[in-house]
Structure 1
Amino acid sequence: MDGGDAYAGYFMAAGSFLALAATLRQGDHIRVTLILQRLHGKPRVWAEIFCLAVATLLTAYFTYYAGKLAYDSYIYHDISQNTDATPLWIPQLSMAVGLFGLFVAFAEEFVYVLRTRRLPREESGEMARTE
């Protein structure tokens, strides 16, 4: 099939980006906890809030530009340079949708931690209260 390797790449990218929000909700993202694990009580809560705020803002930024990329590809009729000549907005849209899901997941966790001052435990999916 002509363009089979291109479609394999599109599906791999789509699978990766569409799974971002689910892996965050399950606690399966790789997190840098070198500093956070040494903090306890309120300093850890505030450090977690800061990290979630930065992650939410960065994800919003990436989501906006991924959506803009897909929209521009649609407007300018940009197509793949492979033999399949697929309109590029189609695979790019999966990236934008996946990033939007990640943004919503980060925003939800940020608001939850900000309101309840509860942190997810790293060993299990339960929430742990830190005072």
Structure 2
Amino acid sequence: MMLTRHLFNFCGALAALSLLGIAVLILSQIGLRLMGSQIPSADDFAAWGLSASIFLALPATLIRGDHIRVTSLRQLMPKRLGHIADILAAAFAAVMMGWVAWAIFGYVHESWTYNEVSQGVVAVPLWWPQSAMVLGSVLFALAFAERTLRLILGLPVESDDTNEQGRGE
């Protein structure tokens, strides 16, 4: 499970790089427009970077416990019942995200099969930027499956630098 944690964190780093790429792209576009020029298809590249940053950040965000959750009902439950509810919720989320990943893969596979390209000035095969959605959703489903297994085994489900070094919760 340590390998998956590193993989999830690596995808989080890729998400951060995508955001950095968007910032560089926008700043470059501003500078070039002031000089009377522009980057072809900059809007497309920024949108693809945003999509990549969202999907690639999902698994890393889950293992750090940073997703928004409604815990009001969970806090009212007895400890054992709450633990069972956590397991069921994580298992349900793993199944649902597996289905979502499969649907996204089908969507991207169609783009690849039909050689779809972007309609902007720069014709990019759409399956290239869409692949980040597949990777992110597959790893998100895997992160939920791992969370389910960790809950069943009684292992910690969330980690961050402070918790792993013994300074946190």
Q: TM-score w.r.t. structure 2 length? A: 0.67
- Residue 94 of structure 1 is matched in structure 2 by 132
For 2:158 and 2:80, locate their aligned partners in 1 and report how far apart those are by CA, in whole Å.
Answer: 14
Residues 1:18 and 2:56 aligned together: yes
- Residue 129 of structure 1 is matched in structure 2 by none
- Residue 65 of structure 2 is matched in structure 1 by 27
For 1:98 and 1:119, locate their aligned partners in 2 and report how far apart those are by CA, in whole Å.
Answer: 19
Aligned partner letter, 1:28: D
For 2:128 and 2:77, locate their aligned partners in 1 and report how far apart those are by CA, in whole Å.
Answer: 44
- Residue 118 of structure 2 is matched in structure 1 by 80
Could you list the runs of 5+ residues in structure 2 that have no partner in the other structure? 1-38, 165-169
Percentage identity across paired residues of the two chains: 31
For 1:97 and 1:119, locate their aligned partners in 2 and report how far apart those are by CA, in whole Å.
Answer: 21
- Residue 44 of structure 1 is matched in structure 2 by 82
Moved over 3 A (4+): 117-121
Could you list the runs of 5+ residues in structure 1 that have no partner in the other structure? 127-131
- Residue 66 of structure 1 is matched in structure 2 by 104
Please identify the structure whose Cα radius of gyration is greater. Answer: 2
CA RMSD, aligned part only? 2.0
Shift of 1:42: 1.0
Q: Which has the higher contact order (CA 8 A, sep 6+)?
A: 1
Equivalent pairs counted in the alignment come to: 124
For 2:163 and 2:90, locate their aligned partners in 1 and report how far apart those are by CA, in whole Å.
Answer: 17
Contact 1:45 1:118 in 2 (8 A): no
Report Cα offsets for 1:61-117 as digits up to 9, x if no partner.
011111111111001011112222211101111000011111111100101111228
Structure with higher helix content: 2
Aligned partner letter, 2:123: A
Aligned partner letter, 2:99: Y
